[in-house]
Chains A and B, each alone.
Chain A
Amino acid sequence: MTALPQSTEKRLGLVIDLDTCVGCQACVTACKGWNDAGIGLSDQDPYGANPSGTFLNRVHSYQVAIPDGPAQVVTFPRSCLHCDNAPCVTVCPTGASYKRAEDGIVLVNEDACIGCGLCAWACPYGAREMDAAQGVMKKCTLCVDRIYNETLPEEDREPACVRTCPTNARHFGDLADPDSAVSRLVAERGGYDLMPDMGTRPTNKYLPPRRKGPGAASPLEPLLDVQASGIAGWLDRMLGKL
């Protein structure tokens, strides 16, 4: 059913720390690796001149011009935000796109998808990509096949992107629970929504990168002002006259 649930018991989602993300793309490959098993995420011409493929998570890199300091580079992972008011769900004509009442995860039932692409149009964040080989819509599942999977060791029961992140920039948890680790992180670090004016009420939050302030003076700077004296000074004056 493409009607959104009134509320969800849990709000499972990600908190992404832009301060510690180094843009290594490990989450991109871990996501692709895990979700490529089974039905898969197809690639087109992957080793050719014009490679293209279906990804559920992509990392951008931005330069931020700061008025009173040097520019900062921010790497920015982008994936489904599992919105409370998900526009991708209500536009779906077949009921393939849905939001789970129990944990708030937004999923696609590929068996019911007609590949019209309207959900991808409705998403402001570019979280959905049509699989060019299968003709159905793909999106982040929050690794629903890992987080509840009791055949996996407990430490692996989190999304592949979170599990693999070498700098711990990705956190997974219940954002409906104010005492969860992710909710505390959001409260302490000022976690925010992307494009809040779009009215989507995303579950995922981003933690802002810290301001680095003006650049420190170089330790070699005093040497710039050194005046030569003695023989060196004489040489300097003579050479200057040539």
Chain B
Amino acid sequence: MHPAPSVILFSVLSGLGFGFLAFLGWGALMPSGWLAFLLWGLGYGLAVAGLLAATFHLGNPKNALKAFTQWRTSWLSREAWASVATLILLAPVALSDIFGLGLPRILGQVGGALAILTVFTTAMIYTQIKAVPRWHHWLTPVMFLTFALAGGAMLSGRAWAPVLLLAVGAVLLAVWRVGDGAFAAAGQSLGTATGLDRLGVPSVLDPAHTAGNYLKREMIFVVGRKHAARLRKIALVLASVAPALVLLLPLGLFGIALATVLHLAGALAARWLFFAEAEHVVGLYYGARG
């Protein structure tokens, strides 16, 4: 799949933002005054920046409000509801923290759970797609949720954040291991795509069109094997190992900032790979995917 920068930015930033909002809602930090304003602002900023980046991916954003209508069937619609509900529900909690209003924490607990649910709905948008076997696996939501929880724990300075960051690495390794065999396991080939396996073994004789089209640009992205292997190492080190080690050093706030920068860079690399390495079965018609 085409690794569109808008979608990569959206899912990384909003994942981190909603993860952090969850910890703030749960009362992990309990800041007050200006500090509360800054921390809640960071959570909201990340989440909203991600959502705004996502709208750049739309071909016809003027209809965006209609995306709230189909929550019964569509994970994208559910994500729209979950994200807006989270942002609205946590707003009084944030104001309460900033101005010391002392609202009951239960609102924050529910809002925090909704924030995590939002990340889950984001993941399900990809997980539901059977035509992309690499995504169509329970490890996809596990990966998105681990990233959000680790990021939230890191930003809110939890002592066990390094453990969650290392869990991100473990999940990434599992995702890559399972993912590399997913397309073959789905059992589709040019033979099943055309039904010509009844006759023999088909191969592309002549391309259907010599120039590009939407399908080729959007769904038949080919990433070099060497390139991918190097990026995986970068993603693993930056998203998981390096920030975990940095957090173990006695660096205080600077340590958290440094770990966040490293983690974000690694998360972007991992998310780029999540798209770039995902093979859509439509590629079979064009002779891609072997």
Contact = CB atoms under 8 A, between A and B. Distances in A.
A1 B77 CA distance: 12
A54 B218 CA distance: 13
A173 interface: no
A72 B203 CA distance: 11
A65 B190 CA distance: 12
B130 interface: yes
A174 to B, nearest CB: 22
A18 B205 CA distance: 15
B74 A78 contact: no
B215 interface: yes
B202 interface: yes
Contact of B281 (A3, A124, A196): A124
Contacts of B59: 113-117, 130-131, 134-137
B67 A115 contact: no
A87 B127 CA distance: 13
* Interface bin, chain A: 35 or more
B195 A51 contact: no
A113 B192 contact: no
Contact of B73 (A3, A61, A67): A3
A121 interface: yes
Contacts of A199: 130
A122 B215 contact: no
A92 B58 CA distance: 13
Contacts, number: 207
A123 to B, nearest CB: 7
Interface stretch (A29-37, A175-183, A203-211, A229-237): A203-211
Nearest to A87: B130
Contacts of B77: 93-94
Contacts of B207: 60
A121 B66 contact: no
Nearest to B72: A3
B60 A136 contact: yes
B125 interface: yes
A6 B77 CA distance: 21
Contacts of A66: 199-200
B280 interface: yes
B178 interface: no
A152 interface: no
Nearest to A89: B73
18 contacts: A2-B74, A60-B207, A60-B208, A60-B286, A64-B200, A67-B200, A90-B73, A92-B73, A116-B59, A118-B125, A130-B218, A192-B195, A192-B198, A195-B193, A195-B281, A197-B186, A198-B130, A211-B199
Given A94-B70, A199-B130, 14 more contacts: A3-B72, A64-B199, A65-B203, A91-B128, A95-B70, A116-B58, A116-B67, A117-B218, A124-B131, A125-B282, A129-B213, A136-B59, A196-B192, A197-B192
